[in-house]
Structure 1
């Protein structure tokens, strides 16, 4: 793959990859590092990329795997450090959250609390608008598994919203 092909086929994916990594990691700086690593690896493999049928799915899978590698490598964090980190992250997001309605903010929080697979599938399907087959390529899950996890994720979010709305 030539540099010009790389610029037209791979680099335009950066925004989607960034949103996906940020959603998984909840840390924009780490997400940027992951995306840089992914692009570097893609560039290093540029000669074999002609064999890739779906570049977007391939790059998303690399991003997902890189994020999972980061989770595995993370050391335990003291509760105080975690609290300080979350508060500093939340203060950066405060301006964005002010613009959101209360229900939209609540939905975001509920989605963040979902198990990893459900959160990932819900993000890819409902936010990024990927088809089930594309999600299957990115996550190595079957379409049926994706449908089940998406259904469970939506039900958990819906039930929690109803519970909070009606106080049950």
Structure 2
């Protein structure tokens, strides 16, 4: 745009120079009509060039305004997209925080379950030991019971034998 302004300034300077030359020519000695016509033609040509340059500058200004509008529109769209992305990031962060909280709760439950499992495993181990001890005691008691049965049977037999002997003696002394 500054190039166009520079050209416009140059053309305006040329126009001024041409006008000055025209004034000087009339005042000096009223040059011939041909020279005057040439200067008028040059003046008209310069005016035409200035008009063209002015129109070009106006068109370029309009294009710049249009591009600025497009840039502002794109910038607005970009800002909207940024806001949407930031909102999605925030929502994602909230979901992550909720899932983290949920995970921590599940982890706490798991830790509690592991502690209960460890305690249950220890209890089962103690029960297993107690069961073995009780089985050993039971086997020992069964063996003692079997021995006692044998002794009882032997004692019952002896009692029976004594009863039979007593009965025989009674019968004999009766």
Please say whether Structure 1 and Structure 2 have the same fold, judged by a TM-score greater than 0.5.
no
Q: TM-score, normalised by structure 1?
A: 0.24
Q: Which has the larger radius of gyration?
A: 2
Greater RCO structure (CA 8 Å; 6+ sep): 1
Higher helix share: 2
TM-score by length of 2: 0.24
